[in-house]
Amino acid sequence: MDVLLFGIPAVVAIVGAIAMLLSRNAVHSALYLLLNFAAISVLYLLLQAPFLFATQLIVYAGAIIVLFLFVVMLLGAERDEDAPHANPWQNRGAIVGGLLLLVEICLLYVNNPGTIPVAVDMDNAFAAPAEVAKALFTTHLLPFEIASFVLLTALIGVVVLHQRRS
């Protein structure tokens, strides 16, 4: 039963990621990414990390996807559906790489059967909001601020590039 509870959101996350990569429409890709983020948040809930579950839904599935859709609509990338691929070998390379990764995962499972992480037995303090906030604002404050600066710079760059082109 535990493997089934883990397997359904895991399969949904994998299918969403593959559909995101294979979609030719940028808006559809963003929506498949939203599906992937939602499935990953369910996996966090199964790993007994309710704070990460809520953060995944609010930050990634909410804010980041809205930002992606805003940038896609701002740049007009949803209209570039019929453009030919610049590198036709990329599709074949991606399929070969994906198959190699799938073979590696199958070999790992065959060599170590029954080791799929379904639920982690950990104390509740590990994923508590107070512990995550303490780690985020003490140990990892600099990477947190750098990430916010990079996102802000990218958003400003998109707006400036779009205004130059108009």
Examine the domain organization and report whether 111 and 146 are in the same domain.
Answer: no
Examine the domain organization and report whether 48 and 116 are in the same domain.
Answer: yes
Specify the number of domains making up the chain: 2
Give the predicted TM-score (pTM) of the model: 0.56
State the DSSP H helix or E strand holding residue 91, giving kind and residue range, or none if neither.
helix 89-111
Examine the domain organization and report whether 8 and 73 are in the same domain.
Answer: yes
DSSP string, 26-73: HHHHHHHHHHHHHHHHHHHHHTT-HHHHHHIIIIIIIIIHHHHHHHHH
DSSP state of 135: I
pLDDT at 116: 53
Average pLDDT, the chain: 78
Confidence of residue 134 (pLDDT cuts 50, 70, 90): confident
Examine the domain organization and report whether 81 and 66 are in the same domain.
Answer: yes
Tell me which residue range forms the domain holding 92: 2-121
Cβ atoms 37, 56 nearer than 8 A:
yes
Specify the higher pLDDT residue, 87 or 61.
61
